[in-house]
């Protein structure tokens, strides 16, 4: 029976021939994930999010809410009123919309009306985060899409309650109008913030390339 390395050392001392044991090679000791590839992956996610956000905006505001005017005697839905609305408008809308029409608007709020602000907000958070390095500025820009998503979701709930309640309350109308106007304003500001973030990202990338290692000089 073959002796163990300890037995060989005990018998032969320093002259013992001890077989060398080698660990198996590490599989893929290096990684191909470079900062450039990470940035490229983030850009692909942002592009996909922008495309989905554009589609949802078209589907919600330009298609579905516009089609619902057929159930309200041609009157626009509260979500489409960029400048807000008053109690007289809401009373006319409530009189024109039956329970089925109000139920369809509530369904739209729970589907596309929920997906659009959430996906838009997530996309803009990623867009700003990958282009703005300064922490304080990044959080300031992040606050706009976050507020937009919160205001739009809150506005959906208030509008549904305003249209389905038994007696119309002036304070509820004012709140719904304020949230609608704030939602459109925050959407516009978020778009501006996204554009500013892209410009800052390009400016930073250009500065990094300008301060990169200098190329070697040609030999005479």
Using one digit for the tens of pLDDT, what is the confidence trace for 73-122? 999 999 999 999 999 999 999 999 999 999 999 999 999 999 999 999 99
Its pTM stands at 0.78
Q: Is 27 part of any domain?
A: no
What is the token pair recorded at 64? 């579905």
Say what the pLDDT of residue 204 is: 80
Residue 213 forms part of a structural domain: no
Residue 219 lies in a domain: no
Q: 33 lies in a domain?
A: no
160, part of any domain: yes
1 belongs to a structural domain: no
The residue range of the domain holding 49 is: 39-79+99-205
Structure confidence at residue 215 (pLDDT): 47
3-state SS, the chain, equals CCCCHHHHHHHHHHHCCCCCCCCCCCCCCCCCCCHHHHHHHHHHHHHHHHHHHHHHHHHHHHHHHHHHHHHCCCCCCHHHCCCCCCHHHHHHHHHHCCHHHHHHHHHHHHCHHHHHHHHHHHHHHHHHHHHCCCHHHHHHHHHHHHHHHHHHHHHHHHHHHHHHCCCCCHHHHHHHHHHHHHHHHHHHHHHHHHHHHHHHHHHHHHHHHHCCCCCCCCCC
For 14-22, what is the mean pLDDT? 54
Residue-wise pLDDT tens digits, 26-52:
555 555 556 566 667 888 999 999 999
Count of domains forming the chain: 1
Q: Is residue 176 part of a domain?
A: yes
Kindly state whether residue 216 falls inside one of the protein's structural domains. Answer: no
The confidence score (pLDDT) of residue 64 equals 96
CA 83 vs. chain centroid, Å, equals 26
């Amino acid at each position: 029976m073959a002796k163990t390395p300890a037995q060989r050392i005990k018998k032969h001392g320093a002259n013992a021939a001890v077989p060398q044991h080698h660990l198996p090679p590490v599989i893929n000791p290096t990684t191909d994930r470079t900062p450039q590839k990470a940035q490229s992956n983030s850009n692909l996610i942002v592009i996909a999010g922008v495309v989905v956000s554009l589609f949802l905006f078209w589907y919600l505001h330009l298609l579905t809410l516009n089609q619902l005017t057929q159930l309200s005697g041609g009157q626009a839905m509260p979500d489409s009123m960029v400048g807000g609305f008053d109690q007289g408008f809401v009373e006319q809308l409530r009189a024109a919309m039956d329970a089925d029409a109000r139920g369809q608007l509530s369904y739209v709020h729970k589907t596309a009306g929920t997906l659009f602000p959430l996906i838009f907000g997530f996309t803009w958070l990623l867009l700003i985060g990958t282009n703005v390095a300064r922490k304080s500025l990044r959080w300031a820009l992040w606050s706009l899409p976050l507020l937009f998503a919160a205001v739009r979701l809150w506005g959906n709930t208030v509008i549904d309650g305003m249209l389905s309640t038994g007696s119309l309350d002036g304070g509820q109308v004012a709140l719904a109008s304020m949230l609608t106007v704030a939602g459109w304003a925050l959407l516009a500001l978020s778009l501006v913030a996204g554009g500013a973030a892209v410009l800052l990202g390009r400016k930073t990338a250009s500065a990094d390339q300008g301060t990169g290692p200098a190329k070697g000089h040609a030999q005479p």
